[in-house]
Structure 1
């Protein structure tokens, strides 16, 4: 665009712009903004807009690179005079021909940019009430759908706290769209941002939204419970108390009561129960009741409230999918004072979970007890808590301890093995291309190994290849060990890595004499080398075997039930160790 024309458009100076009026349609910026775009963006000169459109009416709906018309830019920048001039010209029917079956003004108002924004989106986002009123009153039948970020004008008005614009849209539009990101609605936004007045009007105009759920399965009441918005919760429950029973299908089937318990909002818990006194019976997808959740998330006030209720006896010994009672979960807490739970008259301190463990079993299985664990152990013993003794076995196998120190030791061992394996892989890879005897420099076999047909050379190549493969397997095993948190899988990987490195060293020892045999003509020297290597191999491995047998003589007591995931079971089978683990358990001795 000509610099003088651009400066004139910015200031709304028609005297300057007039000199270029014959070329308006062909003048544009790198962003494809026309002179009308520049004017709408920078100035509120309605008279100049009218003059421009009288001469070049096609600029009315001309798009820039972002797919925006001049109306978008005027609405974004709050130039209500330009917006009014554009609407009046579109309604006049003057200028270029437009299909009579369409309303040119409504067509312009409904045009969306490449981001899906209408002019109303821009007015709402920038809080220009007068412009929003102009747009809505000209086209009240339009739903004003969401943009590509799934933001409707109504949702934006609520989310950004534009209450007057929200009222305008709800009272002027016949069927306004209300969606927001993540399948939320304007009602969700009012709940999240604690807007009671907006909530009242939305419930009045769009009452069906009260049970709409977002992508997590949360209703507006779920969000009120999360953020402890008590007035919002009261409005929603008064409008439709059945919303308290809605379980979030994509969030462990949690109800609003569960959410309030998890976040420790005891007043809101009481509010929900006052409207729906029987909703405490609902459980999550993991079969956990509200007492489970209060204990797990260490919400003391909520726990005490539940334990003081008349229906506490129905919850206190209830088990989740893993057989955990609230007392089992209490053992794993860090700061919760659970004395009222341990000493409750209806609590069963010796209940068993699916692993046949009592709450006290959960503690004494650890070799080293923290001060916290000792405190809980004393509480349980004073309440007549005992061990279950259902699953204890003594096995003459390698220690199964999986404390932090043991895990660290295994990880360090794997790290050292990976360094050795990397060195072996590097050496064997290089040896594969620096073969004994070299390569043919001419003839039909040019570039091929000179000793390629000798049996000793073939043995060298195969041994070198197998050594490299075994070493690479050990490196990959270390990568998998770093990724998993399961101690038994870490231990299994280290065992396999030991064997892989041993095989890699063995194959290297086979490759070395094979290569020498291929290039040395003196048979006695070759025999001496092979005997020396064999003697060294025998001496080292016999000593290692003796040390290993001494290690396995140690006994360790451990429980026969391990909590490992199905994914880790698959990995153990892939490593070929699942069968050994099973045999270890069946060989358990009293």
Structure 2
């Protein structure tokens, strides 16, 4: 009868056994306040109970949970507010300031390491989370025993509005998740671009954090082919493309292994060349599947070799001399890779075939590393049998 009265919030019946509130409890050591917080949102009854039995505020059940934990888990905003208001008041027999009592209650962790905010986030109760965070914005919420901070949970569970709340209200939000992952890893894994943007804005240093396997958020974006996430991460810090995990693999290596292409229909060889990642290029070309990739065209008809001629420092000899490469493939504008070389044949040469030092363009060859490098690529292509294209023969000047 007592439990039924507590579950329904029937104060008339509960009042008849109010003298036993502190000593009576369920088999899991839940008091009348626990039962009420779990069962219904009767804030006025909570106020009546606490008026005569203030010590129940911090009473724990077998799981180490206060009534606040249970109210937050079950979405009972009225009870959460009533508990906080009582903790802030001068009522009750306490030897500590009411502000300390409030903080102590808000920060109490259960046997599983969960605070009331963990419970609100996990169960997607935004207004309860808002009340809890606003009451204690200075607290750096720790992770529970599953290594989940409230922020990490918010991202992983897709609670974007709660994530925004925590990032904008908490002064120093904690962000850890299982396996040394961060909230940024979670956004990359679960493909939440909006969350990713805000985390990068508020916690930019997370972009280089690695989990226990040495994986950055970009590694996970590459693994799951989350292209918008990858673009956001690379725009924030291009150096992350070169970060290696514990197996010495970059994000591009991971993309190779999982066979992903980009929105421009560029395969991993296109990306390795474009981003001038020589190790990745060699890694791909040593793979048995390289023959399927090496002459593939993107949306503009570029093969990886077409992109190679625009690089500045990449050693692409392994690409140019690969047995399956077509050095004379045409793009959508009917140009071969050799046609793309800018500079080489536009400079005057002397009778020996060397560039004429009297030419007004000679100094630009000597001072422009990009043109000089293009000349080297041109020579490399010609030695591999590349020729100029003649599909636009009407416009070619001889």
Question: TM-score, normalised to structure 1's length?
Answer: 0.50
Q: From 31, 51, 55, give the equivalent of 1:54.
A: 51
Counting only pairs closer than 5 Å after superposition, residues 190-201 of structure 1 correspond to structure 2 as: 190-201=187-198
**CA distance 1:271–1:235, change in 2 (3 Å):** farther
2:172, 2:316 → 1: CA distance? 50
> What SS does the aligned partner of 2:176 have?
coil
Q: In 2, are the aligned partners of 1:244 and 1:276 still within 8 Å (CA)?
A: no
What is the deviation of 1:304?
3.9
State the alpha-carbon separation in 2 of the partners of residues 271 and 103 from structure 1: 57
For these two proteins, the number of residue pairs brought into alignment is: 313
Task: Establish whether residue 164 from structure 1 lines up as the match of residue 161 from structure 2.
Answer: yes
Are 1:213 and 2:210 counterparts? yes
Contact 2:133 2:169 in 1 (8 A): yes
Alpha-carbon distance between aligned partners in 1 of 2:113 and 2:273, rounded to the nearest angstrom = 42
User: Structure 1, unaligned stretches of length 5 or more?
Assistant: 319-340, 347-590
Change (3 A) 1:12 1:253: same
CA distance in 2, matches of 1:183, 1:156: 14
Q: Does 1:87 align with 2:84?
A: yes
Q: 1:106 to 1:231 in 2, by over 3 A?
A: same
Conserved 8 A contact 1:11-1:39: yes
8 Å Cα contact 1:159/1:193 also seen in 2: yes
Q: 2:111 aligns with which of 114, 121, 129?
A: 114
The 5 A counterparts of 1:121-520 are 121-248=118-245, 250=246, 252-267=247-262, 277-282=274-279, 289-292=283-286, 295-296=287-288, 298=289, 302-305=293-296, 308=305, 310=308, 314-315=317-318, 342-344=323-325
Work out whether residues 256 and 268 of structure 2, in 8 Å CA contact, stay in contact via their aligned partners in 1. Answer: no
Once the two structures are superposed, what CA deviation does each residue of 1:362-383 show, in whole Å capped at 9, x if it has no partner?
A: xxxxxxxxxxxxxxxxxxxxxx
Q: CA deviation at 1:102?
A: 6.5
Residue 174 of structure 2 aligns to a residue whose secondary structure is coil
Cα distance change, pair 206–24 in 1 and its aligned pair in 2 (3 A): same
Distance 2:237 2:272 in 1: 10
Q: Which runs of 5+ in 2 are unaligned?
A: 297-302, 309-313, 328-398
Q: Which has the larger radius of gyration?
A: 1
Q: SS in structure 1 opposite 2:21?
A: helix
Larger % of helix: which?
1
- Per-residue Cα deviation, 1:433-492 (whole angstroms, up to 9, x for no partner): xxxxxxxxxxxxxxxxxxxxxxxxxxxxxxxxxxxxxxxxxxxxxxxxxxxxxxxxxxxx
1:38-49 aligned at under 5 Å gives the runs 38-49=35-46
| TM alignment of 1:531-570, pairs within 5 A | none
- Kindly provide the CA deviation profile for residues 147-188 of structure 1, in whole angstroms up to 9, marking residues without a partner as x: 010001001101111010000000000100001111111111
TM-superposed CA distance for 1:99, in Å, is 2.3
CA contact (8 A) 1:261 1:299 kept: no
1:266 to partner: Cα distance:
2.4
- Distance apart, 1:97 and its partner CA: 1.1
Residue 315 and residue 218 in structure 1: after superposition, are their counterparts in 2 closer, same or farther (change >3 A)?
farther
Give the TM-score of the pair, scaled to structure 2.
0.73
CA drift of 1:315 comes to 3.3
Q: Is the 8 A contact 1:143 1:173 kept in 2?
A: yes
CA gap 1:282/1:153 in 2 versus in 1, 3 angstroms: same
Shift of 1:272: 10
Query: How many Å separate the matches in 2 of 1:159 and 1:211?
Result: 19
- Does structure 1 conserve the Cα–Cα contact (< 8 Å) formed by 2:269 and 2:294? no
